[in-house]
């Protein structure tokens, strides 16, 4: 992996602390092998040759565009950090990330010997379009922060474990609503043709399917069959 001098110095600074390799790798986007070689002083590649990180910005009153070209800036978050964008004032509207292979001269230090050699590296371009947050959104986010700061911390309530009783009745509830057994209508007055015979065949087909699917949860002591809600298409007037 090719790393810039700045990245190399960041790794060395992190190694002087108690930060773990996993944390350094995640935070600085480098592999553990690179971290180990930097620690041993065996392998250092810097940007002292042809390579330079680039940052361009173009801001107007309510919009902005930032573009980075780098070996190490590969994400929108890294590009925003490099450009020092205040996310309390700006939103990311859209972004484009692309990469290409480039050959450049890198100064390499191996066993304390420096030499310039051509290397093929992957250059990354991250382009981010920004838009300024509206006063309404800023006010809304401010209210959310006030709610967050003023909300009490609710600790998890420890509840006693509930054990199922050994002796209990298992009930299967079969709810067939809106079968309209007494209805007779035909297209185009309705979506489908519907007669007592069609309703009868449909309802018993559904019942058979329900009983087959629920068999794995049995055996059952009772079957609960709610009645109403246009079951006969006429009980509402009774």
Q: Which of 129, 141, 137, 138 is nearest to 60 (CA)?
A: 129
* CA torsion angle 138 141 142 145 (round to 10): -160
pLDDT in tens, 201-221: 888 899 999 899 988 887 888
Contacts of 7 (CB under 8 A, 6+ apart): 28, 30, 72
For the stretch 47-67, pLDDT in tens is: 444 456 788 999 998 999 999
Architecture of domain 1-45: Orthogonal Bundle (1.10)
Q: What burial letters (b/e) apply to 97-122, b meaning 16+ CB within 10 Å?
A: eeeeeeebebbbeeeeeeeeeebebe
Q: How far apart are CA 196 and CA 202, in angstroms?
A: 10
pLDDT for residue 47? 45
Q: At what angle do helices 21-28 and 5-15 cross, to 10 degrees?
A: 150
- In the chain, which stretches have pLDDT less than 50? 43-44, 46-50, 238
pLDDT in tens, 9-24: 888 888 888 888 888 8
Q: 3-state secondary structure string, the chain? A: CCCCHHHHHHHHHHHCCCCCHHHHHHHHCCCHHHHHHHHHCCEEECCCCCCCCEEEEEECCCEEEEEEEECCCCCHHHHHHHHCCCCCCEEEEEEEEEEEEEEEEEEEEECCEEEEEEEEEEEEEEEEEEEECCHHHHHHHHHHHHHHHHCCCCCCCCCCCCCCCCCCCCEEECCCCCCCCCCCECCCCCCCCECHHHHHHHHHHHHHHHHHHHHHHCCCCEEECCCCCCCCCCHHHC
| pLDDT for 166 | 62
CATH of 47-135, one of 3.30.870, 3.30.70, 1.10.260, 3.30.110: 3.30.110
Beta bridge partners of 105: 118
- Show me where the domains of the chain are located: 1-45, 47-135, 171-237
């Amino acid at each position: 992996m090719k790393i810039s001098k700045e990245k190399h110095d960041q790794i060395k600074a992190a190694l002087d602390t108690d930060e773990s390799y996993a944390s350094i790798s995640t935070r600085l986007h480098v592999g553990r092998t690179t971290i180990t070689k930097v620690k041993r002083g065996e392998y250092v590649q810097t940007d002292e040759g042809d390579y330079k990180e680039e940052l361009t910005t173009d801001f107007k009153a309510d919009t902005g565009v930032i573009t980075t070209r780098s070996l190490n800036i590969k994400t929108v978050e890294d590009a925003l950090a490099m450009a020092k964008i205040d996310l309390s004032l700006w939103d990311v509207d859209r972004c484009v990330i692309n990469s290409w292979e480039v050959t450049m001269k890198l100064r390499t230090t191996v066993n304390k010997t420096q030499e310039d050699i051509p290397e093929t590296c992957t250059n990354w371009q991250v382009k981010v379009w920004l838009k300024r947050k509206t006063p309404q959104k800023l006010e809304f986010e401010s209210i959310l922060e006030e709610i967050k700061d003023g909300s009490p911390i609710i600790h998890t309530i420890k509840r006693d474990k509930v054990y199922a009783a050994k002796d209990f009745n298992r009930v299967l509830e079969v709810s067939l609503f809106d079968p309209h057994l007494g209805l007779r209508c035909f297209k185009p007055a309705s979506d489908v043709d519907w007669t007592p015979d069609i309703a009868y065949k449909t309802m018993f087909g559904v019942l058979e399917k329900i009983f087959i699917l629920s068999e794995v949860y049995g055996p059952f002591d009772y079957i609960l069959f709610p009645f109403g809600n246009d079951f006969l298409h006429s009980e509402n007037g009774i």
